[in-house]
Amino acid sequence: MSVLVVVEPDEGGDGLSVVSQETLTFARQLPGDGVSAVLVDAVGEPDDSVLTHCREHGVDALYVTDDERLQRYAALAWARVVGAAAEASGAAYLIAGGTARGNEILAHAAAVLEAPMATNVVSIAQPEPLEVERQVAGGAVLERVALTGEPAIASVAGHALAPEPAQAPGQARVERVTAELADADRAAQVVRLEEREGGDTSALTGANVVVGAGRGVGGAEQFADVEALAARLGGAVGVSRVVTSLGWRPHHEQVGQTGSRIAPDLYLACGISGAIQHWAGCSSSKTIIAVNTDAEAPMVTKARYAVIGDMHEVIPAVLEELG
């Protein structure tokens, strides 16, 4: 009755991703008798920082692969690796973070095992038989579902809970798994990675400060003060979908249900109404400050602090105050 967690390395090379740490925290609440992990999207000897996080999170065994054919990402091939680890560990639960990779690899595993799967789970409603609550409709609604598969397969909504170290550290024993790979398992494989010009935008999901900008900005040409404030605070710019739909900013800056989920120390949301789909991506921020002309906007009423007024007057004044 063990739990197997699919974990991903941190983009910046610092151990496991934050979502993977959250997912391990969630997995320890399941009624299994021990947590193992399988490292995806990384081939060969795991970094020390990965092992440190695994130990902290009570991981007994960390399954890794040495298969060089996986250097370039192929979801189905990784699902085979996960399947091999599930078999080796006798997993009764197969859990991943609700990231693009996590959901994709799990869905392949679920298809191979012909087992049901629940995405975006936030809590365990009942351990046995297992019932969980998951976010649906962009986070506006919680759905209670019975999770009957063997193994039970679920992804955990990003930032639904905070990562906490385990009470007793784990051994994080490294175990190598080999999966039989057919050519068809790599028919859909990344052939090329094009780095984004202007550098790294994992800046957004990893940033301590995000300055958010919505339709209230007024136009593509009016981001100078938003960018200046983000730079001054050492943070990143995040935007609403209206902003990307209007073509003012690229989609990878979008925060929300169909964009990125962020959890910075500060989210300064300027000219954003705070629709549920946007809130789904920013609600885990530690402190939210809204700047909005409308004191009744949901972003304002849900925020911890607010300034009522025109963002293009407030931001320059803040920049001046910061010196």
Ligand X SMILES: Cc1cc2nc3c(=O)[nH]c(=O)nc-3n(C[C@H](O)[C@H](O)[C@H](O)COP(=O)(O)OP(=O)(O)OC[C@H]3O[C@@H](n4cnc5c(N)ncnc54)[C@H](O)[C@@H]3O)c2cc1C
Task: Identify residues 110-129 at the interface with other proteins (CB under 8 A).
Answer: 110-112, 114, 116-120
What is the Cα–Cα distance from 136 to 133, expressed in whole angstroms? 10
Per-residue contact string for residues 291-310; x = within reach of other proteins by CB under 8 A? ----x----xxxxxxxxxxx
Among 44, 33, 35, CA closest to 6? 35
Q: What does 306 bind: other proteins, ligand X, none (CB cut-off 5 to 8 Å by kind)? A: other proteins
Q: Which is nearer to ligand X, 158 or 259 (CB)?
A: 259
Q: Which is nearer to other proteins, 35 or 204 (CB)?
A: 204
Dihedral pair phi/psi, residue 309, rounded to 5°: 160, 180
Q: Which is nearer to other proteins, 25 or 155 (CB)?
A: 155
Name the DSSP letter for residue 185: G
Query: Is residue 117 within 8 Å of residue 124, measured between CB atoms?
Result: no
Pick the stretch among 59-67, 89-97, 161-169, 288-296 that binds ligand X (CB under 6 A).
Answer: 288-296
- Does 156 interact with other proteins (rule: CB under 8 A)? no
What dihedral angle (degrees, nearest 10) is formed by the CA atoms of 147, 151, 154, 155?
180
Of the candidate residues 128, 168, 192, 221, the single one contacting other proteins (CB under 8 A): 192
Of the candidate residues 266, 269, 272, 282, the single one contacting other proteins (CB under 8 A): 266
CB of 175 to ligand X, least distance (A): 38
Q: What does 233 bind: other proteins, ligand X, none (CB cut-off 5 to 8 Å by kind)? A: other proteins
- Does 174 interact with other proteins (rule: CB under 8 A)? no
Q: Cis link prior to 129 (omega < 30° from 0)?
A: yes
- Does 302 interact with ligand X (rule: CB under 6 A)? no
What are the structure tokens assigned to 5, written together?
A: 């967690």
CB of 1 to other proteins, least distance (A): 20
Among 67, 99, 9, CA closest to 186? 67
Q: Is 114 left (phi over 0), alpha (psi -120 to 50) or beta?
A: left
Of the candidate residues 23, 65, 135, 240, the single one contacting ligand X (CB under 6 A): 240
Q: What does 1 bind: other proteins, ligand X, none (CB cut-off 5 to 8 Å by kind)? A: none
Q: What distance, in Å, lies between the first and last C-alpha atoms of the chain? A: 58
Of the candidate residues 242, 268, 307, 318, the single one contacting ligand X (CB under 6 A): 242
Query: Is residue 24 within 8 Å of residue 5, measured between CB atoms?
Result: yes
Q: Which is nearer to other proteins, 137 or 224 (CB)?
A: 137
- Does 271 interact with ligand X (rule: CB under 6 A)? yes
Q: Which is nearer to other proteins, 1 or 112 (CB)?
A: 112
Q: What does 45 bind: other proteins, ligand X, none (CB cut-off 5 to 8 Å by kind)? A: none
Of the candidate residues 257, 283, 284, 285, the single one contacting ligand X (CB under 6 A): 257
Residues in contact with 208: Cβ distance below 8 Å, sequence separation at least 6, in sequence order = 234, 235, 264, 265, 266
Residues in contact with 191: Cβ distance below 8 Å, sequence separation at least 6, in sequence order = 72
